[in-house]
Structures are given as structure tokens and as C-alpha cells.
Amino acid sequence: MKKQNDKKEKRFRINYQAVVQNLPFFLFLSALAVVYIYNGHYSDKIIKSISRTNKELKELQFEYKTIKSEVMFRSKQTEVAKAVAPLGLMELTTPPVVIKKDAGQ
């Protein structure tokens, strides 16, 4: 019976000794697992940030197109004439005249 207990103790010691000897490797694997988990969370955060930025970009593009079309509409000659009519300004009915200065005088 004692011989059998010695074998179990010896086997346990070998396993315990193997674990102690391989402790740096187990620590390395643990550190690698932590880095792997961190990398997963970091990539999720980056993907959410990219998605948020793309959504904001699309909203700004829509706003730009809306404002651009409004500016183009308001810069038409008829719209400008309507906008300045309350100020008492009217469109010219005669073409503009070019005034030239003679170089000899």
C-alpha cells in the first residue's frame, strides 16, 4: 500500500514540478489571452467609431446638397429681383453703357 502512495506522490510531484517549470509559459499564455481580448474590444470600438463617422458624413453630405441647391435657386436672376424689390431696386431695362476715356486728354 505504501508503494502505491509513493507512486502517487511521485507522480504528483512530477506534475507539480512540471507546472512550476512551465509557469513562465503559462504566464505568457495568460498575457496573450488578455491581449487577444483587448484587441477584440478595441476593434469593436474602432468599428463603432467608423460607423458613427460614416453616418455623420452622410448627414453632412445631405445638408451640403440641400444648401447648395437652395443657394443656386436664390441666385437666379428672377429670385434676386424679387429679393431686392422691397428695397426699391429694379432690373435695368436698357443695356449698360461703356464709358471710354481718351488717352490724349
Distance in angstroms (rounded) separating the CA atoms of residues 69 and 65: 6
Q: What backbone phi and psi angles, to 5 degrees, belong to 90?
A: -130, 165
Predicted local distance difference test score (pLDDT) of residue 102: 82
Going from N- to C-terminal start, the domains of the chain cover: 2-85
Cell numbers given for 19: 507546472
Query: What is this structure's pTM?
Result: 0.56
Distance in angstroms (rounded) separating the CA atoms of residues 64 and 82: 25
Determine the distance from the C-alpha atom of residue 7 to the mean position of all C-alpha atoms in its chain, rounded to a whole number. 63
Question: Cα-Cα-Cα-Cα dihedral of 10, 12, 13, 14, to 10°?
Answer: 90
Predicted local distance difference test score (pLDDT) of residue 45: 98
Tell me the mean pLDDT per 10 residues along the chain, length 105.
Answer: 62 73 93 98 98 98 97 90 88 87 73
